[in-house]
């Protein structure tokens, strides 16, 4: 937080921005009202169920757009059309394809038992909590143009509802690069791009 204050928040104030500190997108009660026991349960539902389902469907949909002549699995010209085939291909060519990384997340996506109906219902609840009942509500309550926070914290709620995020370099923390994020409502990209541009220009 100290790095964010020094490299982003103080310069924004110097540029004339009015900041409201220490806001939370959701209270524990709001998360419970939406149907999750706590924040950990919310994140687990998304990362452990929704993300694997979306990954499997998305990768398979993309692979089917690859219009390449089908070849046998053992052929070097083989082009998989589903995530299952891609996983099998990597296993068959593990010496080449998995020298540095495994495919645990891919295999977890294949093991997902979420049904299309459950996915649609869960996704709708998550989008409502993160968008109208989360980011939108917070922006409106405090008359804000955007939320500013460490980039790592912004990714989760914005990803739930597909809202835009602009991340900017903001320093180094314990030898690792640190980024700040500007998070806005749907279709607020123009505003979000102006804010870091103004920050870069400085006062005056």
1 has pLDDT over 90: no
- Whole-number pLDDT of residue 138: 97
pLDDT tens digit sequence for 30-80? 999 999 999 999 999 999 999 999 999 999 899 888 765 555 555 556 778
Q: How far is CA 4 from the centre of its chain?
A: 20
Burial 125-154 (b: 16+ CB within 10 A, else e): bbbebbbebbbbebbeeeebbbbbbbbeeb
What's the whole-model pTM score? 0.82
Take residue 108 and report the two structure tokens written for it: 């977890």
Count the residues in the chain. 204
DSSP string, 44-77: HHIIIIIHHHHHHHHHHHHHTT-------TTSTT
- Whole-number pLDDT of residue 74: 54
pLDDT tens digit sequence for 168-196? 998 888 888 999 999 999 999 999 999 99
Mean pLDDT of the chain: 90
162 has pLDDT over 90: yes
Q: What angle do CA 135, 22, 7 make, to 5 degrees?
A: 100
Q: Give bridge partners of residue 147 from the DSSP assignment.
A: 183
Backbone CA torsion sign across 30, 41, 157, 6:
positive
Residues 154, 181 contacting (CB under 8 angstroms) = yes
Take residue 50 and report the two structure tokens written for it: 């929704």
- Whole-number pLDDT of residue 171: 87
Residues 6+ apart with CB under 8 A from 97: 89, 90
- Residue 204 banded pLDDT, cuts 50, 70, 90: low
pLDDT tens digit sequence for 91-109? 998 998 899 999 999 999 9
Residues 122, 116: Cα–Cα separation, whole Å: 10
């Amino acid at each position: 937080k100290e790095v964010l204050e020094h490299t982003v928040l103080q310069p924004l104030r110097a540029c004339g921005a009015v900041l409201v500190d220490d806001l939370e997108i959701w209270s524990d009660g709001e998360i419970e009202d939406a149907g999750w026991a706590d924040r950990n349960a919310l994140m687990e539902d998304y990362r452990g169920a929704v993300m694997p389902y979306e990954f499997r469907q998305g990768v398979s949909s993309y692979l089917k757009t690859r219009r390449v002549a089908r070849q046998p699995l053992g052929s070097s010209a083989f082009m998989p059309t589903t995530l299952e085939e891609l996983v099998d291909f990597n296993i068959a060519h593990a010496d080449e394809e998995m020298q540095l990384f495994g495919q645990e997340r891919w295999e977890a996506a294949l093991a997902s038992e979420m049904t299309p109906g459950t996915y649609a219902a869960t996704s709708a609840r998550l989008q409502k909590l993160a968008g109208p009942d989360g980011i939108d509500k917070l922006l409106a309550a405090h008359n804000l143009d955007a939320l500013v926070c460490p980039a790592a914290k912004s990714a989760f709620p914005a990803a739930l509802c597909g809202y835009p995020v602009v991340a900017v370099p903001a320093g180094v923390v314990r030898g690792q690069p640190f980024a700040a994020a500007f998070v806005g409502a749907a279709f607020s990209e123009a505003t979000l791009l102006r804010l870091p541009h103004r920050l870069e220009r400085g006062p005056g």
